[in-house]
Amino acid sequence: MGDFGTLGDVAGRRVLVRSDLNVPLDGSTITDDGRIRASVPTLRALAEAGARVVVTAHLGRPKGAPDPAYSLAPVAERLGELLGRPVAFASDTVGESARATVGALGDGDVALLENVRFHPGETSKDDAERGAFADELAALADAFVSDGFGVVHRKQASVYDVAQRLPHAMGALVAAEVDVLQRLTERPERPYAVVLGGSKVSDKLGVIDHLLDRADTLLIGGGMVFTFLAAQGHEVGGSLLEEDQLDTCREYLQRAEDTGVRILLPVDVVVDTAFPSGDREPEPHVVPADRIPADSMGLDIGPQSGLAFAAALAGARTVFWNGPMGVFEVDAFAAGTRAVAEALTRVTAAGGLSVVGGGDSAAAVRTLGFADDAFGHISTGGGASLEYLEGATLPGLTVLED
């Protein structure tokens, strides 16, 4: 639990909580409520302590104005179900509805404000505009709890500026994320393995650079692996390729060799002649990783690679995984991601720390039917986690330190 002690007795006080409720929607249907579930412990603890809980959060990327497609109304309903108590919903962020909704709260009640990004002040680069919006948010509360780890790398009004205006504390979710990330960067139990996937090498440059000095083994799959394979001189056909990162990949491979860090690349890949779409059935073929046909694209690591990756993880005591091994949404290209997920569950069962690094990785393990508790930790903040692991300063954390 975050240290609410710094706030004193919260009973009867209005506590503004910045949660991360940015869930995927299909129309008004929530397709993965993992982030809502992760927000519940802090909100429940505050409500049970008698606080008047005011939740603020974003959903998607509206352009600083109301957009019904990004309304948090479906989230308010689901949050109420998970909390086991009604959640009042304000139809604006700091306007008449917000003020009336907050004013009507009793001790232990919970309200959710409409999407904070409907207001242009939330994401403004102008300190004065952002600060003016933060003043209005702060006027709704007596204290602030930061519990949206997925946004702590953002210098935004509801994350950074509000904390400068109210007594503040860290929520349970943020505290848990920070503890895990400190274990990954400052005191990992060895052997320490890092699995990186996803589309682009460029998205992971800082993480690779930072963790090459800390990890024992680096396993690379997903779309980003084809730039590594091309850097070794192999044909990658129509696979994802960042030609401007070839020299960087060569440098990483050489650096790993010089420092004794093992970089494991796939030995085989699953290819098709077209990217999966609803217009055609997949036609997967397994080929050696160094002999991808010119008319094909790699869409998953192959079965031998899945076995090799699982074997490399078998003895690990700490594993951090960010990014799927292939197009996991399509069964024909999901086996590599499933193999890595299963290997992480075995690390957990053996008493090691397995961390699923948020974003697509978290979506993948749930899509493939794995239970959250099969892993040591599933991060709610992919981008924030990566920036932390890069050694970056996260404004939403530093502002809580005073």
Residue 329 assigned to a binding site? yes
Q: Is the dihedral of CA 326, 327, 332, 337 positive or negative?
A: positive
Residue 60 assigned to a binding site? yes
Residue 265 assigned to a binding site? no
b/e map of 320-349 (b: 16 or more CB within 10 Å)?
A: bbbbbbbbbebebbbbbbbbbbbbbbbbbe
> Rounded distance, CA 95 to CA 254, Å?
57
> Which of 198, 238, 359, 381 is the catalytic position?
359
> Which of 35, 52, 130, 338 is the catalytic position?
35
> Which of 95, 108, 315, 383 is the catalytic position?
383
Q: Does the annotation count 103 as an active-site position?
A: no
Residue 359 assigned to a binding site? yes
> Rounded distance, CA 220 to CA 249, Å?
11
CB 143 within 8 A of CB 162: no
Residue 154 assigned to a binding site? yes
Residue 222 assigned to a binding site? no
Residue 177 assigned to a binding site? no
> Rounded distance, CA 351 to CA 34, Å?
24
Question: What residues does 14 pair with on adjacent strands?
Answer: 52
> Rounded distance, CA 266 to CA 131, Å?
49
**Residue 274 CA, distance from chain mean position:** 29
Residue 296 assigned to a binding site? no
> Rounded distance, CA 32 to CA 25, Å?
8
| Strand locations in 149-306 (E) | 168-170, 192-196, 217-220, 262-264, 268-272, 285-288, 297-301
Residue 360 assigned to a binding site? yes
Q: Does the annotation count 155 as an active-site position?
A: no
* Runs of H (alpha helix) within 1-147: 34-48, 73-83, 96-103, 127-138
Residue 35 assigned to a binding site? yes
Q: Does the annotation count 35 as an active-site position?
A: yes
Residue 204 assigned to a binding site? yes
> Rounded distance, CA 148 to CA 33, Å?
15
Rounded to 5°, angle at Cα 348 from 346 and 353: 130
> Which of 99, 165, 200, 317 is the catalytic position?
200
> Rounded distance, CA 282 to CA 293, Å?
16
10 Å CB burial of residue 379 (0-12, 13-18, 19+) is: buried
Residue 61 assigned to a binding site? yes
Residue 22 assigned to a binding site? yes
Catalytic residues: 35, 200, 359, 383
Query: Could you tell me which residues are annotated as the binding site for (2R)-3-phosphoglycerate?
Result: 35, 117, 154
Could you tell me which residues are annotated as the binding site for substrate?
Answer: 20-22, 35, 58-61, 117, 154
Binding residues for ATP: 204, 298, 329, 358-361
Which residues are annotated binding-site positions?
20-22, 35, 58-61, 117, 154, 204, 298, 329, 358-361
